[in-house]
Amino acid sequence: MNVLITGAGGFIGQALAAALVAEDKAASVILTDVIEPSAPDSAKEVVRCVKADLTSQDVRDSLLTKHLTHVFLLHGIMSGAAEADLELGIKVNVDATRQILDTLRRVNAGVRVIFTSTTAVYGPPPTPGSLLTEADAPAPGSSYGAQKLISEVLVRPGKPTGAASSFASGIFREPLNGEKSILPVSKKLSVWICSPRTVVKNLMHARDLPAEVYGGGSRVVNLPGISVSIHEMLAALKAIGGQEAVDLVEEKRDPATERIVESWPAKYDTARAQKLGFTKDGKLENTLKQYLEDYHD
């Protein structure tokens, strides 16, 4: 197994690399990001870390070889940054992704590509609390959502049928590390989230699914997660970290961030994912306990 993971500097990329190597000790894994990512401690011997600007054809040619068996595309200019700099968002989220696919088509046609998109492709739900499925027509309400939707269409075979959301992990991560965190949205707001362990399991499951299971139709799958309000997230933080952790969360509403996050649906029908064997997510408190086990020294 020869794997390339782009945007691998984040904790999902790191956890995915560690899981791939744990599964296959003979695996060869390349991690890339705009800043050279670190190799997980458990995988240093077989992981190569590369500082890479994926908008450069020379860089793409050096990374995208015929030897790759799997490519996980995790890179991107995230929501808030993509809104602030439209040109950069298009360059990285659309152009670089298209050029990666073009290069792979030339040198390694048929390689398995796993592309992570975003809930932002759907745009605001038809009515508050609507349950969305893969059959709902995407109607992104942000340039970031539009850029990721374009890439979704590019990645799909055949006919197509700096992140604003960073606070969602930040209000857990920083307080549990004894650091302050900013909450830029209303506590009444609900979001769709998933634990890192479940995300990694499902990315690896997507890697292994044969094309036939999709029945010749769309390969877009809404992965399992849970819908929670910010108020519920803070309650879980208190249950695991105590009131002292909650006290480190400073409410500082930011209209721009709130506007972006409010345009994302917070509930999804994941029946298709479950039918395909993807793992359901667990309770929020369990996610926080897992975080402490996996990332807290």
List the catalytic residues: 144
| Per-residue tokens: 200 | 């990694």
What is the residue type of 109?
A: A
Max Cα–Cα distance, the chain, nearest Å: 56
Cα–Cα distances (Å) from 101 to 97, 150, 176, in that order, read 6, 13, 39
| Per-residue tokens: 62 | 């050096």
DSSP state for residue 40 in the 8-state scheme: P
What does 199-250 look like in DSSP terms, one character per residue?
Answer: HHHHHHHHHH--GGGGTTS--------EEEEHHHHHHHHHHHH-HHHHTTEE
